[in-house]
Amino acid sequence: MPQHINVAMVGHGFMGAAHSQAFRVAPRFFDLPLTPVMSTLVGRNASATTAAAEKWGWEKTANDWHDVVNDPDIGLIDISSPGSTHVEIAVAALEAGKHVLCEKPLANTVEEAETMAAAAAAAAERGVYAMVGFSYRRVPALTFAKQLVAEGRLGTIRQVRAQYLQDWLVDEDGPMTWRLDKAKAGSGALGDIGAHAIDAVQFITGQMLDDVSGLLHTFVTERPLLDESVAQTSLGGAASTERGQVTVDDLALFTAKLSGGAIGSFEATRFATGRKNAFRIEIAGSLGALSFDLERENELEFYDATAPATELGFKRILVTEPEHPYFAAWWPTGHTIGYEHAFSHQLVDLLTSIDARTQPTPSFEDGLQVQRVLDAVDRSSEAGSAWTTTRATATANGETR
């Protein structure tokens, strides 16, 4: 008989909806050692929070995250609010003995991420665990990709090509949102979707991005300010007549040298006209290759270079079979899943780790590593695409950077 764990979630935007769906659905398909209870939804705007809680099925609401940090009944705090809020909430929650699931990117700066990783390391010693929400690790095709690599089916990995392509900013008259404001979002395409590309590549290959040379570019530098009087949809909104400055990147391009000798080419963009959510990964090794596109997330293409000469080719594997990661819990052979299911998988793995008193992955340390790469890309771009290490380096005052 599984125990229950009371959950509080901070934030109720797009990610809040996706996480709520996972809390609701995962226990119905997976045998969980801990059953999550959707206890408290936290948001600053009381009426909006109440409406969201009702829509998504949270038992009660709070308007100050300190309330749930201080609530002895809460066992897990899910941080789905903007990046600038992560560090404060996460550190307080961990110190209060709450397990933490924090949306990616972990933070808006390396310094914040370091603080969070330190807090997570300290908490882990007390059996309190933190996980960062790089949910795409739990897309079955990518989990399976990692397995193939780990089994050596690709041999020595030499090349990686990762592109996260969206086009929701193509219209020059699309309005400013918090995602285009560096103060709130930390960065643009780089942190929002490039972070996924970095984490997925490191996860699948087991190699870290050691050095990067990058370029950040903003195609449209001024946009109409958002009309705050109109209800906002998840990624867009209504425009007012005033204009504001876009302070984040529209496009991030970077090359990386990976710790195992591979060379990677990365792109994150919101200007790839016609690509709605095309997260593509290609990996080439001495014995094989992989190709993936999130627009067809139930498929993984695998090339086995050891096949007979006449039978070489990319095999389109429908990753929908009970033998594939996570799929036995869902539908019969050949029946697809969608975007939201990776959040359920993430929750399954988190709760399983918490129950087993083991560190869930990706840890805050993993999130910090991604943050270091994001930061290095940013600094490389500032420095004329000069090669920049992603490793922590000693600074003047003896701390690592």
- Binders of a second copy among residues 320 to 379 (CB under 8 A) are 320-324, 331-341
State residue 63 phi and psi, 5-degree precision. Answer: -115, 0
Distance in Å, CB of 82 to a second copy, minimum: 16
Of 66, 146, 182, 296, which one interacts with a second copy (CB under 8 A)? 296
Site for a second copy in 187-216 (CB under 8 A): 213, 215
Q: Closest separation between CB of residue 248 and a second copy, Å?
A: 16
**One residue of 51, 210, 232, 314 binding a second copy per CB under 8 A:** 314
357 contact partners, CB below 8 Å, separation of at least 6: 127
- Residue 184 in contact with residue 85, Cβ under 8 Å? no
Shortest distance (Å) from residue 361 CB to a second copy: 21
CA distance 61 to 289: 48
Distances in Å between the Cα of 35 and the Cα atoms of 53, 138, 351, 390 are 19, 19, 8, 39
Q: Is 389 in the site for a second copy (CB under 8 A)?
A: no
Q: Is 384 in the site for a second copy (CB under 8 A)?
A: yes
Q: Which two tokens stand for residue 317?
A: 């594997």
Give the binding range for a second copy (CB under 8 A) out of 19-27, 89-97, 185-193, 195-203.
19-27
Q: Which is nearer to a second copy, 57 or 127 (CB)?
A: 57
Least distance (Å) from a second copy to the CB of residue 309? Answer: 4
DSSP state of 337: -
Stretch that binds a second copy, among 20-28, 62-70, 190-198, 346-354 (CB under 8 A): 20-28
Instruction: Give the CA diameter of the chain.
Output: 65
Among 9, 10, 18, 142, binds a second copy (CB under 8 A): 18
Q: Beta-carbon neighbour count of residue 242 at 10 Å?
A: 10
Contact between 3 and a second copy by CB under 8 A: the answer reads no
Contacting a second copy (CB under 8 A), which of 255, 359, 363, 371? 255
Bridge-based pairing of strands 278-285 and 157-165 is antiparallel
Neighbours of 199 (CB within 10 A): 23
- Could you tell me how many residues of this chain bind a second copy (CB under 8 A)? 90
Binding of residue 177 to a second copy (CB under 8 A): no
Using CB under 8 A, which residues numbered 128 to 157 contact a second copy? 144, 147, 154
Token code pair at residue 20: 């709520």
CB of 109 or CB of 159, closer to a second copy: 159
Is the distance from CB of 370 to CB of 194 less than 8 angstroms?
no
Query: Smallest distance, Å, CB 298 to a second copy?
Result: 8
DSSP 84: G
Phi and psi at 292, nearest 5°, equal -140, 145
Member of 66, 84, 111, 161 binding a second copy (CB under 8 A): 161
Which C-beta is closer to a second copy: that of 235 or that of 392?
235
The Cα–Cα gap between 217 and 381 comes to: 9
Return the residues of window 211-230 that contact a second copy according to CB under 8 A: 213, 215, 217, 219
* Residue among 121, 239, 317, 392 that touches a second copy (CB under 8 A): 317
Query: Cα separation of 307 and 305, whole Å?
Result: 6
Distance CA 367, CA 360 (A): 12
Stretch that binds a second copy, among 4-12, 67-75, 114-122, 274-282 (CB under 8 A): 274-282
Q: How does 77-86 read in b/e, with b if 16+ C-beta sit within 10 Å?
A: bbbbbbbbbb
CA neighbours within 13 Å on the CB side: how many for 368? 21
Q: Which stretch binds a second copy (CB under 8 A): 4-12, 51-59, 101-109, 198-206?
A: 51-59
Interaction pattern, residues 59-98, with a second copy; x per rule: CB under 8 A:
----------------------------------------
The reply on whether position 232 binds a second copy by CB under 8 A is: no
Structure tokens, 289:
């290759």
- Compare residues 309 and 396 and give the one whose CB is closer to a second copy: 309
